[in-house]
Amino acid sequence: MKLKEMRIGSCVLEVGADSARLSAPITCADEQPRELWYSLPAAHADWFATDRCDGFVVALLLQAMERNENIVTDAPMSSRLWHSLSQFYIPMMTQAFPNLHRIKIVPAALTTETQPAAGVATGFSGGIDSFAAVVRHFAQEKSPEHRVTHFLFHNVGSHGNKSPEADRNLFRQRYALVQPFAKEVEIPTVPVDSNLAYAFPIDFMKMHHALNASVLLVLQNQFRRYFYASTYKYVDCRVAPVKDIAYLDPMAVHLLSTEGLDCVSTGSEMSRVEKTALVATYEPSHRYLNVCVDAAFEGRNCSVCFKCRRTMLTLELLGLDHLYGQVFDFEKFAKVRQRYLKEIILHYPHSFEQEIAEAFYAPRSRAWRWLIKAGGWYRQHRQYRKK
């Protein structure tokens, strides 16, 4: 049986007074064509690569695999990217997400041409992962060749899932919040908006590195290197059924590179505790660290959500909490701390919380070692009973 097709049309660049927009028509079997677009400030219109569809293919690949549709393009795509996706990335994703199908990508033509791009980019959100990337690839980087020149701030599905307007408001709010740090270190921060999350609704946790890399792939005229701040340490990463695509980052992100753009996964060489300690060596993080997931706090740290709790406990155990009085409320945290410590042991298998508990308590105390073991038995028993 012939597979259905998802056809990606040639992209069109429109430059207005304020913004520039690159779009492409997407046609799926038996459906009305949809438009997928990316937009950024008009001053950067020439960053868009209009001669290829690399970004659109990567943005839609996992959706096409879910729908079991081959991707057919009207524009050329990078030969290296096409080869890596077809030979490695697609099989890898089917092993991690059993609901995905092996599909083919049929480009109009393959190209090996590159543009003389000079930029080195990373995303910046103000969290531990992105601050660790800033310390490694900007503050500590001696070689100008590898040093970050730009921060990018994407709207590709990470700013809630209420409505395009509500999510876009949060995107703008969060963008405004990262500006003071970027201005202080004199790194231009460019917002890139997109309708990707709405044109083809997605499970962000299963796609985030592909969605973020798609932005760099549409901006290949400007960037030659992209540092993608990854979450999990190498020893925890694997190609196996997982809920979060981040477990695949070190194996997968480099496969999204082209002849002109290197996509690099960074951060897996450290544990969460080591990353937090590294970030704390960087003074601006004492004033700008922002890890909170609670949108109601409008970009400030609530000091009680799961990300705030784990960061505050790690800082406390490292003896560095006194440095972060400006961004966290440790008195508020003290009220939930005791309950949180119990939760770490009993309810969070294979989590950063477990890592924190093991790093700090297990080597020191028999009682904690016993509790961690008991936590393991409890979880096994619970899983057994669920079956």
| Closer residue to Zn ion, CB minimum distance, 254 or 286 | 286
| Closer residue to Zn ion, CB minimum distance, 286 or 307 | 307
Q: How far is the CB of 38 from Zn ion (least distance, A)?
A: 30
| DSSP three-state, residue 106 | strand
| Closer residue to Zn ion, CB minimum distance, 237 or 312 | 312
Q: How far is the CB of 353 from Zn ion (least distance, A)?
A: 15
| Closer residue to Zn ion, CB minimum distance, 238 or 307 | 307
Neighbours of 81 (CB within 10 A): 27
Burial of 149 (0-12, 13-18, 19+ CB in 10 A): middle
Q: How far is the CB of 292 from Zn ion (least distance, A)?
A: 3
Q: Using the 8-state DSSP alphabet, how is residue 70 labeled? A: E
CA–CA separation, 311 and 94 (whole Å):
33
H or E segment and range at residue 169 = helix 164-184
Q: How far is the CB of 178 from Zn ion (least distance, A)?
A: 16
| Closer residue to Zn ion, CB minimum distance, 77 or 292 | 292
Helix axes 272-280, 352-360, angle to 10 degrees: 80
Radius of gyration (Cα) for the chain, nearest Å?
22
Q: Which residues pair with 24 in a beta bridge?
A: 36
CA–CA separation, 70 and 64 (whole Å):
7
Residues in contact with Zn ion by CB under 5 A are: 292, 294, 302, 305, 308
Neighbours of 236 (CB within 10 A): 15
| Closer residue to Zn ion, CB minimum distance, 77 or 308 | 308
- Cα-based distances in Å from 39 to 16, 257, 294, 375: 10, 21, 27, 48
Q: How far is the CB of 328 from Zn ion (least distance, A)?
A: 9
Residue 271 · residue 233 · CB < 8 Å: yes
| Closer residue to Zn ion, CB minimum distance, 57 or 327 | 327
Q: How far is the CB of 311 from Zn ion (least distance, A)?
A: 9
Q: How far is the CB of 135 from Zn ion (least distance, A)?
A: 22
CA–CA separation, 34 and 123 (whole Å):
27
User: 327: which 2 tokens?
Assistant: 């961004």
